[in-house]
Amino acid sequence: MPKLPQSTRGWILNRRPVASPSPDDVTLTDLPLPDLQDGQVLVRNTHMAVLPSMLGLMRAGPLDQRLGVHGPHNPHSAYLPYTLGDPMTGPALGEVLASRADTLQPGDTVRHMLGWREHATAPADTMEHIQPKGLPPSLFLGALGLNGLTAYAGLTLAATLRTGDTVFVSAAGGSVGSLAGQIARLKGAARVIGSAGTSGKCDRLKAEFGFDAAINYTDDDLTKQLHQAAPDGIDVYFDNVGGDHLHAAIECMRHHGRIVLCGMLSQYLSGGGEAGGLPANVSAAIGKSLTLTGFHVFDHLDGVPGFAEDMPSWIAARQITCPQTVFDGIDRAHEAFQALFHGHTTGQTLVRL
């Protein structure tokens, strides 16, 4: 048996970011790898995902408690903020190097939550055995992972998407947004509009991801642009951003339109004000009989009807494009994380280890 590593490199949280993430918040350090116990496996991580929600786990402030899944009356309180001085965690993909469990063998590909490090030792029952079946394994951290499920369940369950709908998706160049726009089209939307922060990204939305129209939110007034892109109004707004985007969408919603509150990117760096991303015109939801649905993918981890069949077959048939931005090396993990908040990435942002 090859000699197994006794230590690995991983990122620990030094201090809680106040607003934007800073390199001083974290340190890449050597972490010990304890000897394998019965039932455990040692995994060499091949990819890890960075997600905007990790800022909430680092910061753990009042906004993060409102936005996040920790806090009272919440069934997801297991998703706890990171502990200062401890290695950070998150979705990762790896190869089993050694196993003292019957269920996993060396060479198996596993998905687990011990990202932000090069190796991990953990009970085998906390690892999910992945069978890629010819699909690129890294997609199991994106389109075939939580973000694909988020886009799919957000549209089909929370928004109850219907054939012929006009759909608006914000942060449409991101991981969830780029998939949501394409899923909306594949599920029968008549017109799909996306927003992004650069003209280059807007071009990609139309050319590569099949959006009918793309709005650069840094250009002109958002409401004006949205009215132009959807002159007959919007049936479904998939909101990843909140704030001005939600304001513009409410202005352009049709009577009985449905809004899915999936994320509030506009609030994450500022820490949010008291309104937490809800705009002043939210009361128009009464006059227009709008439905605003808070959505969290953790409510759907047991599966969403259609997802396990649709997504792999769309990918295999090249009916859906799964963009990724890949940073190489554990040293670049925090740089990758910071890039999320500055529009420097498209699709799922991954670190290849």
Ligand X SMILES: NC(=O)c1ccc[n+]([C@@H]2O[C@H](COP(=O)([O-])OP(=O)(O)OC[C@H]3O[C@@H](n4cnc5c(N)ncnc54)[C@H](OP(=O)(O)O)[C@@H]3O)[C@@H](O)[C@H]2O)c1
Contacting positions for ligand X (CB under 6 A) = 51-53, 147, 150, 171, 173-177, 196-198, 201, 217, 240-241, 262-266, 295-297, 340-341, 343, 345, 349
DSSP state of 125: G
Which of 9, 332 has the CB closer to ligand X? 332
What are the φ and ψ backbone dihedral angles of 135, each rounded to 5 degrees?
A: -90, 150
User: To the nearest whole angstrom, how small is the minimum distance from the Cβ of residue 214 to ligand X?
Assistant: 10
Other beta carbons within 10 Å of 102: 8
Which one, 96 or 153, has the nearer CB to ligand X? 153
Q: Among residues 96 and 180, whose Cβ is nearest to ligand X?
A: 180
Strands 128-130 and 119-123, bridge-based pairing: unpaired
Which residues, at least 6 apart from 217, have a Cβ–Cβ distance to it below 8 Å? 170, 195, 196, 197, 225, 244, 245
In angstroms, give the least distance from the CB of 111 to ligand X: 16
Among 287, 257, 297, which Cα is nearest to 162's? 257
CA angle 62, 351, 32 (to 5 degrees): 80
Question: Among residues 32, 27, 18, which one has the least CA distance to residue 63?
Answer: 18
Closest CA to 48 of 6, 82, 106, 93: 93
Q: Which secondary-structure segment (H or E) carries 333?
A: helix 333-339
CB of 250 to ligand X, least distance (A): 16
Question: Which is closer to ligand X, CB of 9 or CB of 352?
Answer: 352
CB of 194: closest distance to ligand X in angstroms?
9
Shortest CB 207 distance to ligand X, Å: 16
Of 87 and 177, nearer to ligand X (C-beta) is 177
Our measurement of the distance from residue 22's CA atom to the centroid of its chain's CA atoms, rounded to an integer in Å, reads 20
Least spacing, CB of residue 146 vs ligand X, in Å: 6
Closest residue to ligand X, judged by C-beta, is 263
